[in-house]
Structure 1
Amino acid sequence: FRGTPLLVQIIFWAYAAALYKHVMIGIPFTTVTFVQFDTNSLLTPSIAALLALGLNEAAYASEIVRAGIQSVDPGQQEAAHSLGMKPALTMRRIVLPQAMKVIIPPMGNETINMLKTTAYVSVIAAHDLMSNIQDVYAQNYQVIPMLVVAALWYLALTTLLSGPQAWLERRYGRGTARAAQVSPLRRLFTGVAGRLTTERKG
């Protein structure tokens, strides 16, 4: 999933019926079949888009989580085991809280990137933002204005996702120099509030 282009994966899932006409659930290597579905009716464009984006994102997310867990010093786990903590408790209470500082920034960026790559599913006419924009400019021939509208929508959505990401980074980065930094938005609101207070006192 990480070694092939996302666009190829989307098209593959959309036209999987050309390879498998039916999806059957039964006992492997026998003729016993419990349930059978027509692939065309099962893999609609929306389902194909979800499969392609979900599996692709899961492949990248698992790598990010693996790298985050491996970034924690092995001595932390050894110390927890010496105190009698079980492996599951060690992972939950010792390893993951430290790994989250490494996991959250690339995971947030990957999520935002996936939101933008949903524009690719317009090639299989799934009901996404870009497909709807294409339907509109096919009727009114206002291509550039409609693309600007699409760009503004994507910008708004990615901005909304950036807020929780920044909060999580500060939340799990407590005790570090990075966590002590004030975000640009908070500096803006603090500056505006300070000016208003000064004007009222004046």
Structure 2
Amino acid sequence: VQLLFWFNIGVLYPQILGVNTVNLLGPVAVAVIGLTLHEAAYAAEVVRGGILSVDRGQIEAAQSLGLGRWRRLTRIVLPQAMRAIVPPAGNMLIGTLKGTSIVSVIAVQDLLYSTQLVYHRTYEVIPLLLVATLWYVAVTSVLSVGQYYVERHYARGTAGAR
């Protein structure tokens, strides 16, 4: 719904403050804005939860050493919070990648849209959808492997290290 709203904003309000809005946002800009707004609140909650997962004693210890707020955040809190942030953030990235197939609704040339263009010409719907599925599986597998190594990096020195 968000994608369609942003895509059709020029139709609803053809002129705002003297600016012509009919062609203000192209399909790619709409896709980026819509997907970003969709994930932003979830991502903020993941980061907030990760920061709150750091034990209060760690922050107090950093304060007793005389570290400033910024240094406490970058040297003490964030490295520990990343253990809690990376798994859901990686899953959100993979989910967003899979969610990009929705942008074919507003004629953005993504994988699914390109597949649809080809099967409308060749009438080989199922084989081409299987090819698109294999591409999505391949890309998500690469992202999953990358996520594994990032998680392993941030789990160093803990009982959960693999």
TM-score (norm 1): 0.76
Residue aligning to 2:65: 83
The structure with higher relative contact order (CA 8 Å, sep 6+) is 2
Q: 2:95 corresponds to which residue?
A: 113
Q: How many residues align?
A: 162
Instruction: Name the residue aligned to 1:43.
Output: 25
Distance 1:80 1:20 in 2: 52
Which piece of structure 1 moves more, 101-110 or 11-20?
11-20
SS for the counterpart of 1:40 is: coil
Asked whether the equivalents of residues 107 and 113 of structure 2 are also in contact (C-alpha less than 8 Å), the reply is yes
Q: CA deviation at 1:16?
A: 1.1
Q: Please give the residue correspondences for 1:107-186 in structure 2 after superposition, counting only pairs within 5 Å.
A: 107-180=89-162
Deviation at 1:177, TM superposition (A): 3.4
Q: CA RMSD in A?
A: 1.4
Question: Which of 2, 23, 34 in structure 2 is aligned with 1:9?
Answer: 2
Q: What is the identity, as a one-letter code, of the residue corresponding to 2:97?
A: L
Which structure 2 residues correspond to residues 186-197 of structure 1 after superposition, within 5 A?
none
Q: Distance in 1 between matches of 2:92 and 2:114?
A: 24
Return the letter of the residue paired with 2:94. Answer: I
Task: Compare CA radii of gyration and give the structure with the larger one.
Answer: 1
C-alpha displacement at 1:19, in angstroms?
2.4
Identity %: 52
Q: CA deviation at 1:156?
A: 0.8
Q: For structure 2, list consecutive stretches of 5 or more residues without a partner in the other structure.
A: none
Describe the superposition over 1:15-52 as per-residue Cα deviations: whole angstroms up to 9, x where unpaired.
Answer: 1112222355xxxxxxxx7xx3x323221111111110
Residue in 2 that maps onto 1:97: 79
State the distance in 2 between where 1:58 and 1:74 align.
26
Contact 2:10 2:23 in 1 (8 A): no
Structure 1: gaps (5+ residues): 1-7, 25-32, 181-202
Aligned equivalents of 1:101, 1:93: Cα separation in 2: 14
Q: Which amino acid aligns with 1:41?
A: N
Q: TM-score, normalised by structure 2?
A: 0.94
Distance 1:129 1:95 in 2: 39
